[in-house]
Amino acid sequence: MGKLDKLKKIKPGGVADDAFSQVEKAKSKFKTTDDYIKSKIEVHPDFRDWIHPLSDEEYKQLQENIIEEGCREPLVVWQVPNAETYYIIDGHNRHRVCTSNNVHYNIVVKEFVDAAEAKEWMLLNQLGRRNLTKEQAAYYRGLIYNQRKSDPKKNLKRGNSPKSQNDTSGNIAEELSKQYNTSRAGILRDGKFAEGLDKVGSVDPVFKRQVLSGKAKVKKATVEKLAKTETNKIKEEVNKIKEAKPTPKATTSSLKKAAPKEAINVANVPQFLQETVNTHRKVVKANKQDEQYFKSLGALELCEQLLAKVDWK
């Protein structure tokens, strides 16, 4: 066999192909390193503003802690499908402090199908923390309820029947009530609270933050009513709420002056509770998703629990 024939039998590529393969493997491995991922991190305003922000005092304290002790909790990021972009899902404030002060931080990459799933994870993560005000907890539960209710595909994945919107909403509320040890009516009210508070935020974001932090003392029912208020009237209603004087708390002296309540015979309580249950069942059937519906549903669940769990003998 001549030299020319030998040359023809050499497979194209050879060592060059092997070297190229090694380079590609090295590049792929480098793309999984923290240094590479950090270079691709972006702050998306939708994720940044999804969670109640820290106050100036809280941010200052966080900054002092990180500078003194380092960033102990890793940032959570989400790689956008089919892209090399990583959005921060948890740790926006830590990221700001660390990058501004050249402090090392670790990262954890989470996988989500879409932005909606990432946002729900953010809410669930917040609800797992201990330092939430009752307003924040109700708001986050309400956001989860509203988001699941508005996504029929995810409702089917959870096993909810597609028969009607009311049936689906009830299933979601029931599921969340068990998860967070509250009532179904409470979850439905949380949904209205979140909807109303988002409307507040659309015209007065500072006041929304004050409500969530507990600094602005506003009744939950007042915010719930705003869920049904027309957009062009929200600002007027928010101003009324801000100008309203808080109801004074009952003092010891005023309680002493109150007329004594009539004693109740314990033997009559079960009958009274059953009559109350029957009354509110009729109201619940007659009203759908309005204020009276939520009140009656809550009273109905309470009476049923009392009848089931308490020995009245």
79-100 pLDDT, tens digit per residue, is 998 888 999 999 999 999 999 9
Distance (Å, whole) CA 158 – CA 58: 38
Report pLDDT for 312.
58
Class of domain 31-113: alpha beta
29 or 147, greater pLDDT:
147
Q: How confident is the model over 252-266, as a mean pLDDT? A: 57
Tell me: pLDDT of 9 over 80.
Answer: no
Percent of the chain with pLDDT over 90: 53
Q: How confident is the model over 159-186, as a mean pLDDT? A: 77
Tell me: pLDDT of 156 over 50.
Answer: no
Mean pLDDT of the chain: 82
Residue 108 has, within 13 A of its CA and on its CB side, a CA count of 10
Percent of the chain with pLDDT over 70: 72
Q: How many CB atoms lie within 10 A of CB 52?
A: 18
List, in sequence order, every residue forming a beta bridge with 75; answer none if it has no partner. Answer: 107
Q: Which residues contact 108 (CB under 8 A, 6 or more apart)?
A: 74, 75, 76, 77
Per-residue confidence band for 58, with pLDDT thresholds at 50, 70 and 90: very high
250 or 187, greater pLDDT:
187
Q: Measured between alpha carbons, how far is residue 69 from residues 54, 55, 300 in Å?
A: 19, 21, 52
Q: How confident is the model over 210-214, as a mean pLDDT? A: 93
Per-residue confidence band for 23, with pLDDT thresholds at 50, 70 and 90: low
Distance (Å, whole) CA 111 – CA 131: 27
What pTM value is reported for the model? Answer: 0.68
Q: Token pair of 298, please? A: 């809550």
The answer to whether the beta carbons of residues 307 and 274 sit under 8 Å apart is: yes
Query: Quick one: which of 193, 161, 194, 192 has its CA closest to 175?
Result: 161
258 or 188, greater pLDDT:
188
First to last CA, the chain: 108
The answer to whether the beta carbons of residues 135 and 214 sit under 8 Å apart is: yes
